[in-house]
């Protein structure tokens, strides 16, 4: 299907001439790219002639495939506005591909980075509003299986020359990569302290577009490239985590898939496992407990004998969360026991990755409490929540707020209404200091559980205190 523009698309014709691609050649390339994404397309030279001479705009993913096809020939990204298709519909599959080829993986990731910022500038929610509701846990099946089969690429060295049409080639060194790692570390701190919606955290997508994308498209040795892909994977996972925290589930999914592909290019198996663990947490949060189990077990399977004890503990903890959401108390208990055992084996001198700096016994206790909340075991929830709240810090403000809500729910289910409201008031105070849709959803869930006691003075007070928080997310 196509819709008509006013007059010929001279931009598309000019770029095709520059790239030396015939109408038939472009049609063939677009059909092939579509087939790689599971699409059956039957464009021919007449279709392309209509796009150029009559200004017809193909629907769906076709404009983005056209740009990708031309970009492959030119050796550089081709934005839609350059080929006169800037007003095309956003591609519904953007960021969902997990290419086998490293070069295609770079294009897939950088395409996602560009579209995210374009969406932010366009307003009205941007591309993510147009993709709202498109989260599908099944989209994780192919990335997870491909990563399990081949968790590392053979070589990622890349050479770009002026002849490729990209201008002066950018030579990437370890100092460039270090800047990305420092950006990721700063973003992790801001996210934990202020939430994924804080403006300092929301700079991550722009960092990916402005800083990471040019480096990924530059020239680098295999050694530098591995490090670069690892840093880009960390930043991309962070962008997904922040989107997840602000309720943009469809955006988070796409970032996670690209982060996993980049981790494979980095040959960083523990990092790939970490991305799978965050995929698992998202699936579990969305109510897909069984799929969450699969993703957590995939993270664990490839890391046996590779990851540190603390890393394996976290993967098992995530698995426990998924089992609990699926209602399997026995499996959840076994996974929790294993997670605690691995954590006890960890030592200060272990070579734990920097991205695991948040994980301690406090975090283990907090997630164990959430497991028992899902399994409706309030006594266990209270026991673990007391441990999780024993040492609150200013560094992990959001986590502290979530723990307070879980504690409130446990008190309520134990019949302690006053204690539940007291913890709820503390949680609302914390939630008001951060920008986290997930924390707000936890508060909403608590208020929903308190509805049978709606006339009680403490409940009325809590509801009034929460009103400004709920109004900001209405």
Total number of domains constituting the chain:
2
Asked whether residue 403 carries a pLDDT value surpassing 70, the answer given is yes
Place 174 in a pLDDT band, splitting at 50, 70 and 90: very high
| Per-residue confidence (pLDDT) for residue 55, from 0 to 100 | 87
| Per-residue confidence (pLDDT) for residue 57, from 0 to 100 | 86
pTM above 0.85, yes or no: no
Domain boundary among 60, 78, 93: 93
**Residue 71's domain is classified under what CATH number?**
1.10.260
| Per-residue confidence (pLDDT) for residue 399, from 0 to 100 | 86
The span from the first CA to the last CA of the chain, in angstroms, equals 37
| Per-residue confidence (pLDDT) for residue 62, from 0 to 100 | 82
Tell me, yes or no, whether 403 lies in a domain: yes
Tell me, yes or no, whether 330 lies in a domain: no
Greater confidence (74 vs 9) lies with 9
**Residue 451's domain is classified under what CATH number?**
1.25.40
Distance in angstroms (rounded) separating the CA atoms of residues 168 and 344: 52
Distance in angstroms (rounded) separating the CA atoms of residues 274 and 197: 22
Asked whether residue 263 carries a pLDDT value surpassing 80, the answer given is yes
- Give the pLDDT mean for 86-107: 82
CA separation, residue 34 to residues 67, 136, 145, 277 (Å)? 12, 20, 21, 30
Asked whether residue 340 carries a pLDDT value surpassing 80, the answer given is yes
Contact 197, 246 (CB under 8 A): yes
Asked whether residue 110 carries a pLDDT value surpassing 80, the answer given is yes
Write out the residue range of the structural domain in which residue 423 sits: 360-474
Asked whether residue 86 carries a pLDDT value surpassing 90, the answer given is no
Tell me, yes or no, whether 291 lies in a domain: no
Domain boundary among 43, 75, 93: 93
In the chain, count H helices and then E strands. Answer: 22, 2
| Per-residue confidence (pLDDT) for residue 119, from 0 to 100 | 44
Tell me, yes or no, whether 305 lies in a domain: no
Tell me, yes or no, whether 194 lies in a domain: no
| Per-residue confidence (pLDDT) for residue 397, from 0 to 100 | 85
Distance in angstroms (rounded) separating the CA atoms of residues 225 and 254: 22
Tell me, yes or no, whether 60 lies in a domain: yes
Tell me, yes or no, whether 105 lies in a domain: no
| Per-residue confidence (pLDDT) for residue 78, from 0 to 100 | 81
| Per-residue confidence (pLDDT) for residue 120, from 0 to 100 | 42
| Per-residue confidence (pLDDT) for residue 63, from 0 to 100 | 84
Tell me, yes or no, whether 382 lies in a domain: yes
Distance in angstroms (rounded) separating the CA atoms of residues 134 and 139: 10
The residue with tokens 């299907």 is 1
Asked whether residue 131 carries a pLDDT value surpassing 50, the answer given is no
- Give the pLDDT mean for 404-413: 91
| Per-residue confidence (pLDDT) for residue 249, from 0 to 100 | 86
Place 48 in a pLDDT band, splitting at 50, 70 and 90: very high
| Per-residue confidence (pLDDT) for residue 123, from 0 to 100 | 35
pLDDT mean across residues, the chain: 87
CA separation, residue 1 to residues 74, 91, 93, 106, 134 (Å)? 27, 14, 17, 29, 22
Greater confidence (105 vs 93) lies with 105
Domain boundary among 93, 114, 143: 93
Asked whether residue 8 carries a pLDDT value surpassing 50, the answer given is yes
Contact 217, 170 (CB under 8 A): yes
- Give the pLDDT mean for 324-328: 96
| Full DSSP string of 82-139 | GGT-TTSPPPTTTT----SSHHHHHHHHHHHHHHHHHHHHH-TTHHHHHTTT---GGG
Asked whether residue 314 carries a pLDDT value surpassing 90, the answer given is yes
| Per-residue confidence (pLDDT) for residue 122, from 0 to 100 | 33
- Give the pLDDT mean for 183-189: 87
- Give the pLDDT mean for 389-411: 84
The residue with tokens 């059909």 is 31
| Per-residue confidence (pLDDT) for residue 116, from 0 to 100 | 54
């Amino acid at each position: 299907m196509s819709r008509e523009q006013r007059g010929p698309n001279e931009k598309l014709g000019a770029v095709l001439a520059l790239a030396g691609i015939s109408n038939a050649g472009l049609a063939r390339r677009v059909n092939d790219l579509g087939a790689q994404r599971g699409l059956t397309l039957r464009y021919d030279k007449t279709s392309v002639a209509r796009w150029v001479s009559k200004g017809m705009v193909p629907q769906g993913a076709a404009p983005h495939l056209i740009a990708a096809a031309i970009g492959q020939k030119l050796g550089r990204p081709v934005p839609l506005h350059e080929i006169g298709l800037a007003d095309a519909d956003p591609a519904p599959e953007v960021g969902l591909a997990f290419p086998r080829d490293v070069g295609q993986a770079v294009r897939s990731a950088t395409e996602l980075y560009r579209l995210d910022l374009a969406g932010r500038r366009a307003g009205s929610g941007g591309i993510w509003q147009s993709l709202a509701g498109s989260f599908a846990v099944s989209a994780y099946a192919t990335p997870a299986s491909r990563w399990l089969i081949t968790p590392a690429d053979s070589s990622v060295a890349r050479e770009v020359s002026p002849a490729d049409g990209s201008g002066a080639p950018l030579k990437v060194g370890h100092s460039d990569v270090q800047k990305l790692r420092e950006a990721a570390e700063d973003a992790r701190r801001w996210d934990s302290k202020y939430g994924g919606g804080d403006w300092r955290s929301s700079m991550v997508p722009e960092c990916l577009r402005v800083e990471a994308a040019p480096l990924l498209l530059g020239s680098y040795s295999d050694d530098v490239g591995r490090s670069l892909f690892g840093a880009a994977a960390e930043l991309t996972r962070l962008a997904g985590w922040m989107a997840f925290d602000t309720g943009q589930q469809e955006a988070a999914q796409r970032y996670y898939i690209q982060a996993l592909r980049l981790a494979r290019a980095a040959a960083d198996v523990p990092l790939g496992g970490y991305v799978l663990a965050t995929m698992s947490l998202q699936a579990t949060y969305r109510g897909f407990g069984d799929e969450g189990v699969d993703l957590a077990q995939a993270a664990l399977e490839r890391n046996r004998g590779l990851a540190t004890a603390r890393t394996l503990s976290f993967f098992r903890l995530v698995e426990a969360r998924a089992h609990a959401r699926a209602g399997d108390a026995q499996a959840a208990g076994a996974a929790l026991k294993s997670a605690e055992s691995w954590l006890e084996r960890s030592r200060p001198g272990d070579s734990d990755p920097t991205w695991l700096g948040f994980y301690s016994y406090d975090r283990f206790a907090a997630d164990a409490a959430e497991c028992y909340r899902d399994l409706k075991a309030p006594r266990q929830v209270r026991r673990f929540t007391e441990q999780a709240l024993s040492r609150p810090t200013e560094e992990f403000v959001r986590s502290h707020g979530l723990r307070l809500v879980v504690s409130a729910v446990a008190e309520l289910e134990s019949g302690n209404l006053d204690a539940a409201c007291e913890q709820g008031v503390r949680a609302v105070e914390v939630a008001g200091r951060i920008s986290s849709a997930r924390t707000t959803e936890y508060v909403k869930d608590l208020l929903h559980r308190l509805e049978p006691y709606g006339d009680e003075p403490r409940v009325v007070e809590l509801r009034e205190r929460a009103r400004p928080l709920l109004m900001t997310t209405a």
